[in-house]
Chain A
């Protein structure tokens, strides 16, 4: 990383923004802190940050509105940080285009990992690296031959399962809502999320060694799925 990434933190709680500021600065990021939505909008337009950390409970406006406004003109990665733990709100934020969602209280290490994921997605859009295969622990996916290996043994995936696995890998580290997966794989909206769950459970049984401790396909209960990023 030769240039310093700029992160805009929109958060009204001083203690939280303070420790986020310190931790991120230590990691070598440039940090901007805004306490209100208005200030956040101003800093966003004047500094063009690379990543935005957005709190939903802001004093002047709802964070969701701000998210909608930002998405109207920018594709910048937005990580929502909120104490609202309800799945519905997570889904709303993710469907509106937030890249990730972190519930308070969180561990700094986790926040860092999520920020790194967003960074990687930035690089991906910049350089479009296309390896001929993906490999992680015991899972290997050969893109050219369209083959999937678990511990070196080839396993059979249906075309849809393969497509889903590619989608998950392409977005690894990011939460994909049930709706998003339905839209991407089956191509229509508002399908029933039960079939996605069953489908994912089947895929997981083919890939995972211990389905109770999944290594790759992690569930965000009530929200969607995330492919382990490291």
Chain B
């Protein structure tokens, strides 16, 4: 209102001033009235209101009458010409003012509509780039703040009495968008809030669908893995069990018929098979413990000598005939770790080395510190890792392809367990080529607990 008054007065004043100026040079009334007509149009454009345009036309008529018609500085009109001029001016001014102001209003409306459409588009596309529930919710809050200038939060605990805007989806009301300070002041803000609610509903539903699909996929994978695992276990258990029951039967049924030496051999076979089975069971137990994502580390500061000693004690039987060497650091090194699990890693690496290398190859276990890391390496001078399994060596169920179909192959769990354990400690494990021949398995452990 105030603004429009000022605009109108300014337009009128400048028209009057300009008219007075050109009047000094003897310009005709017909031209002067054009100046006023122009100011009426300006007023219509500036205020985009019909009322002000008509007001300006009337005011112009009065001013023109007072200032420029004979007799001057009175409201009388002597000449019919001037009267006609004034009458036509009034009609023209009113009509053109009205038309112009309406045009102006429509233009403004159109640009406002365009702005709204653009905002809606930004709101809708804003949700496309974000994933995960938290970031979708955060995006919604950001959008309301950015476009409506309102602070809000999203509430999933459906308190029915709470004020707010429903976030709907096809599966019902998901939650509420609650404005923190007051209500929207105008239609525009309300529209934005509602649009955000709608888009948020769609985005949340999309997130739910994605999560469901992931869950299903994970379950399927797990099921598949379980199947594979059971098949491998069954296969690997069958042969030692056959051997065991055979030897046991032979001993109990034909005890007297067997020579002392044969009995002893059978009995030692039985105990050897059992040692193998025990290892297998130990590995399976470890694997289930790890694959259930419940790997619980009982971390303590262990002296690395102790852990190495434990591992060596367990593998002594396998390495008895090998050229086996251990190199420990000079000083006493303690590292936070789950000693039992790390020694299992070393046992697995040593067993692998013993199992997959020819009897004349050398195996060495070395420990050293480098910076903030402890580095444990098991090197052998065997034939190296076959290229075919190299890239997925640390995955589950990877075994060396042996030509014998029914041969004992192990479950291919050992290195997968190693990786899981080392990673859980925040370390890394990898394999390198040993120069000139063989391979080195190296894993690192951080020497300080970062937690």
* A contacts, CB < 8 Å to B: 87-88, 105, 107, 193-194, 197-198, 200-202, 204-205, 210-214, 218-219, 221-222
Contacts and interface: CB of A to CB of B under 8 A. Distances in A.
B334 A212 contact: no
B237 to A, nearest CB: 15
B159 to A, nearest CB: 45
Nearest to A178: B300
B326 interface: yes
Contacts of A201: 303, 305-306, 332
Top-3 shortest CB links A-B: A212-B326, A194-B301, A219-B306
A222 B298 contact: yes
A47 to B, nearest CB: 32
Given A88-B298, A200-B303, A219 B334 contact: no
B339 A222 contact: yes
B70 interface: no
A201 to B, nearest CB: 4
Contacts of B365: 212
Nearest to B312: A212
Given A201-B306, A205-B332, A222-B339, A193 B300 contact: yes
Contacts of B301: 193-194, 197
B307 interface: yes
Contacts of A214: 309
Contacts of B334: 194, 197-198
A194 B339 CA distance: 13
Contact of A105 (B278, B302, B308): B278
Given A197-B303, A201-B332, 9 more contacts: A87-B340, A88-B298, A197-B306, A202-B332, A213-B326, A219-B305, A219-B306, A222-B300, A222-B340
B424 interface: no
B74 to A, nearest CB: 111
B310 interface: yes
Nearest to A104: B278
B244 to A, nearest CB: 13
10 contacts: A88-B298, A197-B301, A198-B332, A202-B332, A204-B305, A212-B308, A221-B302, A222-B298, A222-B338, A222-B340
B348 interface: no
B38 interface: no
Interface in B278-308: 278, 298, 300-303, 305-308
A10 to B, nearest CB: 23
Nearest to B326: A212
Interface residues of B, number: 26
A219 B332 contact: no
A202 B303 CA distance: 10
A212 B309 contact: yes
A212 B303 contact: no
Interface string B309-339: 1101100100000000010100010100011
A211 B298 contact: no
Nearest to B336: A194
B44 to A, nearest CB: 88
A110 B117 CA distance: 83
Contacts of B340: 87, 221-222
A105 B274 contact: yes
Contacts of B339: 221-222
B39 interface: no
Nearest to B316: A213
B309 A194 contact: no
Contact of A197 (B302, B309, B310, B326): B302
B325 to A, nearest CB: 9
B48 interface: no
A213 B302 contact: no
Nearest to A200: B303
A105, A200, A201, A210: residue with the most chain B Cβ atoms closer than 10 Å = A201
A88, A194, A200, A219: residue with the most chain B Cβ atoms closer than 10 Å = A219
A88 B334 CA distance: 20
Contacts of A202: 332
A219 B309 contact: yes
Contact of B312 (A87, A194, A213): A213
A200 B332 CA distance: 10
A26 B309 CA distance: 34
A221 B326 contact: no
A87, A204, A212: residue with the most chain B Cβ atoms closer than 10 Å = A212
B298 A87 contact: yes
A5 to B, nearest CB: 26
Contacts of B298: 87-88, 222
Contacts of B271: 107
A16 to B, nearest CB: 13
Nearest to B302: A197
B343 interface: yes
A213 B319 CA distance: 13
A200 B309 CA distance: 13
Given A105-B274, A202-B332, A221-B340, A212 B302 contact: no
B303 A221 contact: no
Contact of A194 (B300, B308, B313): B300
A107 B309 CA distance: 20
A211 B274 contact: no
Contact of B305 (A87, A105, A107, A211): A211
B306 A212 contact: no
A162 B316 CA distance: 30
Nearest to B306: A219
B90 to A, nearest CB: 102
B342 to A, nearest CB: 9
